């Protein structure tokens, strides 16, 4: 069964498994003790730190191991903000950061700090100028991911790091998705990552803090890991994490080229095979193994279940798969379609035939899901327009033309209906108004804020905005063709 969700957690690398098994026999003692068992474990821990620091591009004494990548992010942000509290309480993040960063930002704001979210373009990247403009004299810390976990877009970290350096602001980089593919370039100040993203064991994160960065660890003091990560080190897992990072880096150039070719094939073929699909993320500046696309008129949860039944494990940022029915904050920030979203992230060693089989299976799966919702592959194709009625003809509210001026007439009541029903209903009726006519969609589904404008973009229709309405929001769509 092909596993296509390495961005969530990569399969354990063979080198990690070997290192873990070997170090379980040697790495059980306390590395802080001076007897021989402790000294032996200390040697293992120091060697792992040196290997990880070399991969990160920092000094070994600048790097500590944490209990997870999330813990590394939380500790890094809290420690840097506390260390620079005399400068101010302003934090800058991008709008597409991992939830661990955004949760830290929310906690900082709740405690009285201020946060600026830098917007991204439709490809999911910030611009260095926009990021630089967000920095102020009271900015204590800036955060920017190296590459996005949902769409794979790489961020201009080196350029943003230079802007932060000129402003005297430290930059924390969440490198969880990219570290296995190569070091993060630029003059960053702090870096966080997570071993299970590159094929190491879960429960190991790392945090690098450059010398000279003001940093005050939060929480009770602890003598472990320079006081920055409390608790007894899981040395066998740390050794396996460092060993696997070195191993995947050795394979990264060749495997990156191979997987990029497979992803390019998916990016090109999916829109050819499946009607009404939007492939999102930067087509060039992106991770080599990750691609995301969204399908109109598809229930995302059903789509993922059907792909699983067909033998493919994939992920999604679609609100249709969320118990909260809230669209992915990444897709929302990009302003792209959220319904029927599929994220494919190929693990190291993915076979070409597995990708070909996925491409063969996908069209039928999407078609079957659409048919269950009463939509065929031709969904969204405008129907023949309703003949224009004379002003005195007594025509109903579906279409009215008075003195050749089209007035708002058709209202789609989708209140209480969830993704993707509001857009499906819109697609079914757009042809019932003449060119220039307006359809108003009433919806209380949060996903509609993304999906209605995205549908207009994909179908070449005019989105004219939204306004509050009884029980929800009214979205205005003008028929262009």
Give the active site residues.
320
C-alpha to C-alpha distance for 386 and 68, rounded to whole angstroms: 60
Burial class (CB in 10 A: 0-12, 13-18, 19+), 345: buried
What does the DSSP assignment read for 116-180?
EEEP--TTS---HHHHHHH--TTEEEEEEESB-TTT-BBP-HHHHHHHHHHHT--EEEE-TTTGG
Query: Which of 358, 264, 330 has the alpha carbon at shortest distance from 124?
Result: 330
* C-alpha distances out from residue 45 to 176, 208, 238, 264, 316, Å: 21, 16, 7, 40, 37
Cβ–Cβ under 8 Å, residues 435 and 481:
yes
Query: Which of 299, 308, 329 has the alpha carbon at shortest distance from 317?
Result: 329
Cβ–Cβ under 8 Å, residues 97 and 108:
no
Query: Which of 404, 410, 473, 465 has the alpha carbon at shortest distance from 439?
Result: 410
C-alpha to C-alpha distance for 23 and 238, rounded to whole angstroms: 10
C-alpha to C-alpha distance for 144 and 419, rounded to whole angstroms: 31
Cβ–Cβ under 8 Å, residues 16 and 200:
yes
Query: Which of 331, 359, 332 has the alpha carbon at shortest distance from 344?
Result: 359
Query: Which of 239, 218, 242 has the alpha carbon at shortest distance from 229?
Result: 218
Query: Which of 76, 126, 66 has the alpha carbon at shortest distance from 100?
Result: 76
C-alpha to C-alpha distance for 289 and 258, rounded to whole angstroms: 9
Burial class (CB in 10 A: 0-12, 13-18, 19+), 216: middle
* C-alpha distances out from residue 17 to 193, 201, 222, 242, 244, Å: 20, 8, 30, 12, 9
């Amino acid at each position: 069964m092909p596993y296509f969700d390495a961005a969530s957690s990569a399969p354990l690398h063979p080198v990690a498994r070997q290192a873990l098994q070997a170090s379980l026999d040697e790495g059980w003692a306390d590395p802080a003790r001076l007897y021989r068992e402790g000294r032996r474990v200390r040697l293992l821990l120091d060697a792992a730190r040196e290997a990880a620091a070399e991969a990160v591009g920092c000094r070994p004494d600048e790097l500590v191991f944490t209990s997870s990548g999330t813990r590394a992010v939380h500790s890094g942000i809290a420690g840097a903000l506390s260390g620079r509290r005399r400068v101010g309480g302003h934090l800058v993040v991008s709008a597409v950061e991992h939830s661990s960063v955004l949760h830290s930002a929310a906690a900082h704001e709740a405690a009285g700090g201020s946060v600026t979210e830098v917007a991204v373009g439709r490809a999911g990247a910030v611009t260095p100028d926009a990021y630089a403009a967000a920095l102020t004299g009271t900015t204590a810390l800036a955060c920017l991911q190296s590459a996005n976990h949902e769409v794979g877009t790489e961020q201009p970290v080196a350029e943003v790091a230079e802007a932060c350096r000129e402003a005297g602001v430290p930059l924390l980089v969440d490198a969880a998705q990219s570290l296995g593919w190569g070091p993060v370039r630029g003059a960053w100040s702090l870096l966080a990552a997570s071993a299970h993203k590159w094929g190491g064991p879960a429960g190991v994160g790392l945090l690098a803090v450059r010398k000279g960065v003001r940093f005050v660890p939060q929480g009770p003091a602890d003598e472990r890991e320079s006081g920055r990560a409390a608790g007894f080190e899981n040395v066998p897992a740390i050794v396996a994490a460092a060993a696997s990072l070195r191993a995947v880096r050795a394979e990264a150039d060749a495997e990156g080229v191979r997987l990029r070719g497979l992803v390019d094939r998916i990016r090109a073929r999916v829109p050819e095979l499946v009607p009404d699909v939007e492939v999102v993320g930067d087509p060039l500046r992106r991770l080599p193994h990750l691609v995301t696309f969204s399908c109109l008129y598809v229930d995302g949860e059903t789509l993922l279940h059907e792909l699983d039944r067909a033998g493919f494990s994939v992920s999604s940022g679609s609100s249709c798969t969320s118990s909260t029915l809230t669209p992915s904050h990444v897709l929302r920030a990009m302003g792209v379609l959220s319904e029927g979203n599929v994220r494919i992230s190929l693990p190291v060693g993915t076979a070409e035939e597995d990708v070909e089989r996925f491409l063969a299976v996908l069209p039928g799966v999407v078609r079957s899901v659409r048919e269950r919702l009463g939509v065929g592959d031709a969904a969204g194709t405008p129907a023949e327009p309703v003949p224009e009625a004379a002003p005195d003809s007594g025509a109903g509210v579906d279409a009215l033309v008075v003195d050749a001026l089209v007035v708002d007439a058709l209202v789609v009541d989708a209140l209480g209906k969830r993704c993707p029903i509001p857009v499906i209903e819109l697609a079914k009726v757009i042809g019932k108004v003449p060119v220039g006519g307006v359809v108003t969609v009433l919806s209380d589904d949060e996903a509609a804020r993304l999906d209605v404008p995205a549908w207009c973009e994909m179908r070449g229709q005019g989105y004219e905005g939204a306004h509050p309405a009884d029980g929800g929001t009214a979205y205005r769509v003008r028929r262009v063709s």
